Structure formats: structure tokens, C-alpha cells
């Protein structure tokens, strides 16, 4: 299992920008656009994820709308496997399966194509890694992991670039959760 050196961890931590009170007061928004535009940080991250997941024998990477698409698509290409987008409701053109989840106020809904994990294997039971940029309460990723299972695939691990550990989002999952960076 590949582990990230302290030096590499610091490169990543320093590349993420904290924006206080966005999108509303009291939230410190983790801006990963500054990680993406920093080629050293982006490559450090993707090299680490590629090494970690090379031995997992994955069939697909699923990424959550929208920042999960960036890391997920690059990782899928590096591993030579397919990428599946899990999208906000109403964006996918073919038949979908959907899942609602709670937000701080109200609820939201995400969807996946019903045949998303059958394209290359043509059978059920594909091994899928789910990825997003950040876990806060875990509600979004938990709903996404349900979608993967609903369409007959197996979510073998959920991966985040950053975890806000004080919100205990990882406790909601019954599969392994890996976060590259953890804020206590
Ligand atoms: P949650 O469902 O509470 O785990 O929220 C996760 C989703 O909201 C992810 O797609 C994140 O991109 C976004 N998010 C939540 N909190 C933050 C934050 N403090 N900084 C950046 N993104 C956030």
C-alpha cells in the first residue's frame, strides 16, 4: 500500500486555499482550484493515487459531480479503466437510477445511468472506486455509494482528497474510506 511522504503531504496541504465564509458565514471552503493549477501538487496527488490503486484490480472509477470528475477521470485514465460520472439530477440523458440525500436545509438528488458499470464487463459486479474532492458530513458520497450498489456494481472503497474529520462523515460508510489529507 503506497503512503504519502510528509513532504508530499505538505506540498498538497499548502496548495489548497482556505476561503472563510464561502458560500455562507461560518464555512471555511477548501478551494482545490489552486491545487489543480499547481502542476507539482496535481502530479504529486495523482502519482500517489495511481500507486495506491494500481493493485486494487478496479473496473471503474466513479466521480461525484463536479470536482470528483477531475480527479476521477485522470485516475481512470492512468489506471487504464473507465470513468463513470455521478451527476446532479436532470443532467444524464439515458435511463437513470437516482438517490435523494439530506442537505443542511432541504435535500438534493444525484443520478447514475442504469448501465454505467456494464459497458466493458457486460456483467454485474464490477469493482468500483468512488471519488470526490472532500468529505464533510458524508451525505453526498453515501448516496453515491448507494447508487453504485443499486445498479449492481460493488463500491470497494470511497476516496477523498480531503476529510473534515470533526464532522465524522466517514462513520456513515460500511466500506473502507480513504482520505489523502485529514483536517481534525
Ligand atoms: P457532504 O455531503 O456534507 O460530505 O459534502 C460534500 C460535498 O460538498 C462535496 O462535493 C464537497 O465538494 C462540498 N463541500 C462541503 N463542504 C465543503 C468545504 N468546507 N469546502 C469545500 N467543499 C465542500
pLDDT tens-digit map of 10-53: 999 999 999 999 999 999 999 999 999 999 999 999 999 999 99
CB 126 within 8 Å of CB 117: yes
Residue nearest to atom 15 of ligand 1 (CA): 136
Q: What is the pLDDT of residue 122?
A: 63
Ligand 1: atom nearest CA of 28 is 19
d(CA 54, CA 2): 10
115 pLDDT more than 90 = yes
| Torsion angle, alpha carbons of 15, 108, 139, 184, to 10 | 40
Ligand 1, atom 19, lies closest to the CA of 29
64, 134, 167: residue to mutate for ligand 1 pocket, most atoms within 8 A of CB: 134
> What backbone torsions phi and psi does residue 148 show, to the nearest 5 degrees?
-60, -45
How close is the Cα of 46 to the center of ligand 1, in Å?
Answer: 20
Instruction: Check whether 124 has a pLDDT greater than 80.
Output: no
Alpha helix segments (H runs only) across the chain: 6-15, 33-36, 39-53, 67-79, 139-150
Q: Which CATH architecture has domain 56-183?
A: 3-Layer(aba) Sandwich (3.40)
User: Which positions are catalytic?
Assistant: 67, 104
The stretch 143-150 carries a mean pLDDT of 97
**99 close to 134: Cβ distance less than 8 angstroms:** no
**pLDDT higher than threshold 80 for residue 119:** no
Ligand 1 geometric centre to CA of 134 (Å): 5
The residue ranges of every structural domain in the chain are 56-183
Supply 36's cell numbers. Answer: 489543480
| Spatial CB neighbours of 106, under 8 Å, sequence gap ≥ 6 | none
Cell of 121: 464487463
Question: What pLDDT does 105 receive?
Answer: 78
pLDDT for the residue numbered 106 = 87
Q: Spell out which residues line ligand 1, taking CB within 6 angstroms.
A: 27-30, 64, 67, 132-140, 169
Atom number of ligand 1 nearest to Cα 65:
10
Where does the pLDDT of residue 103 fall: very low under 50, low under 70, confident under 90, or very high at 90 and above?
Answer: confident
**Residue 81 CA, ligand 1 centroid: distance in Å:** 26
Report the C-alpha gap between 28 and 25 in whole angstroms.
8
Q: Mean of the per-residue pLDDT values for the chain?
A: 95
Which residues lie below 8 Å from residue 59, measured CB to CB, with a gap of 6+?
Answer: 81, 82, 117, 120, 121, 126, 127, 128, 153
Q: What is the pLDDT of residue 120?
A: 67
- Whether 1 shows a pLDDT value over 90: the answer reads no
Region 109-125: mean pLDDT is 85
| Dihedral pair phi/psi, residue 151, rounded to 5° | -95, 15
Say what the pLDDT of residue 2 is. Answer: 87
Round to whole Å and give the CA distance between 40 and 20: 25
Amino acid at each position: 500500500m503506497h503512503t504519502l511522504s510528509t513532504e508530499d503531504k505538505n506540498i498538497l496541504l499548502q496548495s489548497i486555499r482556505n476561503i472563510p465564509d464561502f458560500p455562507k458565514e461560518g464555512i471555511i471552503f477548501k478551494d482545490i482550484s489552486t491545487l489543480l493549477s499547481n502542476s507539482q501538487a496535481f502530479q504529486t496527488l495523482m502519482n500517489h493515487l495511481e500507486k495506491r490503486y494500481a493493485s486494487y484490480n478496479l473496473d471503474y472509477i466513479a466521480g461525484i459531480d463536479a470536482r470528483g470528475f477531475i480527479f476521477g477521470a485522470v485516475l481512470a485514465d492512468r489506471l487504464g479503466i473507465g470513468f463513470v460520472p455521478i451527476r446532479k439530477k436532470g443532467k444524464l440523458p439515458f435511463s437513470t437510477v437516482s438517490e435523494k440525500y439530506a442537505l443542511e436545509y432541504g435535500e438534493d438528488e444525484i443520478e447514475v445511468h442504469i448501465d454505467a458499470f456494464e459497458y466493458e464487463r457486460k456483467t454485474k459486479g464490477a469493482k468500483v472506486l468512488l471519488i470526490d474532492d472532500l468529505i464533510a458530513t458524508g451525505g453526498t458520497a453515501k448516496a453515491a455509494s448507494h447508487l453504485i450498489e443499486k445498479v449492481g456494481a460493488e463500491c470497494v472503497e470511497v476516496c477523498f482528497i480531503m476529510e473534515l474529520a470533526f464532522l465524522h462523515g466517514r462513520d456513515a460508510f460500511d466500506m473502507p474510506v480513504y482520505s489523502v489529507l485529514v483536517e481534525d
